[in-house]
Structure formats: C-alpha cells, structure tokens
C-alpha cells in the first residue's frame, strides 16, 4: 500500500461502491441529456479542487467550495425538467423492475408500419407515440381513453379527416392503443423543425422530455419520420422504419435475470470505468490522505 494512505476497510469499499454508483448515474444522465460540456466542466473543476486540496492551497480550496455550491444550484435550475424525469425513471424502475410487461408483437409492428405506409401514400397526416419506460401523463394533454387492439382499421379510422382526434396523437402502451387525440408538447429547437409542421414539432417535443418514440407522417410531403431522444430522423423506406421500431421495442421487452446481468456487465463500459476511477481518486484524496496524516 502506498505510504501515507490509511488501510482500506470494508466500510471504505462500500463507500467507494456507493460513490461510484452515484458518479455512474450522473454520467449516464449527462449522456442522456446531451450535456457532456457540463460533465467535462465539472470533472475539470473536481481535478483542480483535488490538486489544490492535496497541495494545501487553502484559498483556492475555499473558493472552489463556494463555486460548487453555486454550481449545484445552477444545475438544478437549468436541468430541473431532466432531474424530474430522472426521479420519475427511478420510481418507475423501483415499481416495475425497469421494463414494460408487454410489448407489441412482431405482427402488430408490421400492421403499424404498413398502415403508416398507406397513410403516407395518401398524404394523410399521422402521429403515433410508442411509450418507453418514462411516464407520459405529465407531458400530454387531452384526448380520449381507448384501450383498443392495434389494428389497421383502428389506425386509419383515427387519422381519417372526419375523426375528432385526427389532429392529435395516439399512444401505444403494452401492445394496445390506450389513448387517441392527445396533444403533445411542442419542441423549442427551431433549427430542427424549420419548414416542418406541427406534428413534427410535437413528436420532437415529446422525445426531448422522455424516452418515447414518436412516428410522424407528413400531410404535406407524405414522408415518414421518427423522433427519439431529441433527434428527428426521416426514414428512407418502410423496412428502415420497422427495423427502428423493433430495435426501440427490444429495449423494453421483459428481460430474464440472466439477460439483465449480461446487459449490466456489457453496457456503458466507458462510463463504468470513469466512475470507478473517480470514486477511487475521491477516496484517496478525501479519506486516504486524511487517515494517513
């Protein structure tokens, strides 16, 4: 063991595991909200603070302590919507195990894609929401409850121009159409929605606030797009659309304990490595050296 470091106890190991888990969660949050610049700035600030602490630069340490307090308040104000969504995800995961119990079948996906293709050829606008893990109620307004089986007749009747809810979205949850005629929040990213209609803005707006996948058929051009995690993608053909939907749904299918362990061990390896290194360094700087003095 390096000189000056106190012996590592079981409590220290648990301490590093807990801090590493928190750092890992923050890194995933920064990655999801595309706020990598915030994470980089925070990491640089932590490195400078740690060096100043070890070197005994107490004035710099005091200044940084005040800076961190202001920074935390600023992060809460700027990312309040993302923080609220994060706590919603934690609540949903704790209650449901983090997965939807049922997902649309392959046949239902084919029906959805085929129906959207027919609507596109006839230049009939449509907006479909496939729920992910995040709750949707806080982001949606209006509409009517349905709880209907996903079928071609239902899809085309909802988006018929004579339908009361044809201008809104219908929501697919656990393989069923739960609501239709729903109003979604509009995006404020004007660079991405320039020359696009309200349906595209609504699809992008919801995808910026949760992990749902939104499918859009343009009434003006007959083109199909999907919005996911704040990105709007125009699909080339129906095969690409079906592949995208099935990849999205695969992430929300029920997983066996073995699959969960496999995914946990193989996903986000870079973030896990960074979290491990950061937790060890934090222990060395704030606990190890203190114990050795």
What's the confidence (pLDDT) of residue 89?
Answer: 62
Spans of the chain, pLDDT less than 50: 1-2, 291-293
Structure tokens at 157: 């009747």
What's the chain's average pLDDT? 80
Domains in the chain with CATH codes: 10-96+263-292 (no CATH), 106-250 (3.40.1700.10)
Phi, psi of 240 (to 5 degrees): -65, -40
Q: Which residues pair with 183 in a beta bridge?
A: 141
Closest by CA to 214, choosing from 194, 195, 235, is: 235
pTM of the predicted model as reported, rounded to 2 decimal places: 0.67
Q: Residue for token digits 């004007």?
A: 190
Q: Phi/psi zone of residue 31: left (φ > 0), alpha (ψ -120 to 50 degrees), beta? A: alpha
CA distance 215 to 226: 4
- pLDDT reported for residue 178: 92
Residue 144, pLDDT score: 93
Distance CA 208, CA 186 (A): 10
Q: Which residues contact 254 (CB under 8 A, 6 or more apart)?
A: 99, 100, 101, 102
The torsion defined by the Cα of 216, 229, 184 and 39, in degrees rounded to 10, comes to: -160
Round to whole Å and give the CA distance between 29 and 141: 26
Please give the pLDDT value at position 115.
94
How many Cα atoms within 13 Å fall on the side-chain side of residue 9?
7
Kindly report the three-state secondary structure assignment for every residue of 181-217.
EEECCCCCCHHHHCCCCHHHHHHHHHHHHCCCEEEEE
d(CA 230, CA 253): 22
């Amino acid at each position: 063991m390096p000189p000056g470091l106190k012996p590592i106890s079981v409590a220290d190991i648990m301490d590093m595991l807990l801090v590493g888990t928190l750092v890992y969660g923050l890194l995933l949050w920064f990655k999801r909200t595309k706020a990598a610049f915030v994470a980089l700035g925070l990491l640089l600030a932590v490195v400078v603070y740690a060096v100043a602490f070890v070197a005994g630069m107490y004035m710099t340490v005091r200044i940084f302590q005040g800076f961190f307090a202001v920074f935390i308040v600023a992060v809460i104000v700027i990312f309040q919507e993302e923080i609220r969504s994060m706590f919603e995800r934690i609540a949903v995961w704790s209650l449901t195990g983090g997965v939807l119990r049922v997902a649309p079948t392959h046949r239902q996906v084919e029906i959805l894609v085929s129906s959207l293709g027919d609507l596109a050829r006839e230049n009939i606008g449509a907006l479909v929401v496939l729920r992910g893990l995040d709750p949707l109620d806080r982001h949606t307004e209006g509409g009517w409850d349905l709880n209907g089986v996903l079928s071609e007749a239902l899809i085309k009747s909802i988006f018929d121009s004579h339908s009361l809810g044809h201008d809104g979205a219908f929501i697919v949850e656990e393989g069923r159409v739960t609501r239709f005629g729903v109003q979604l929040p509009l995006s404020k990213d004007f660079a991405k929605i320039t020359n696009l209609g309200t349906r595209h803005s609504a699809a992008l707006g919801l995808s910026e606030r949760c992990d749902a996948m939104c499918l859009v058929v343009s009434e003006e051009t007959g083109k199909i797009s999907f919005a996911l995690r704040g990105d709007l993608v125009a699909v080339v053909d129906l095969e690409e659309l079906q592949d995208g939907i099935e990849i999205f749904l695969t992430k929300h299918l029920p997983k066996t304990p073995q699959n969960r362990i496999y995914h946990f061990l193989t996903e986000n390896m870079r973030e896990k490595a960074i979290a491990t290194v950061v937790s060890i360094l934090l222990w060395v700087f704030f606990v190890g050296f203190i114990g050795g003095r």
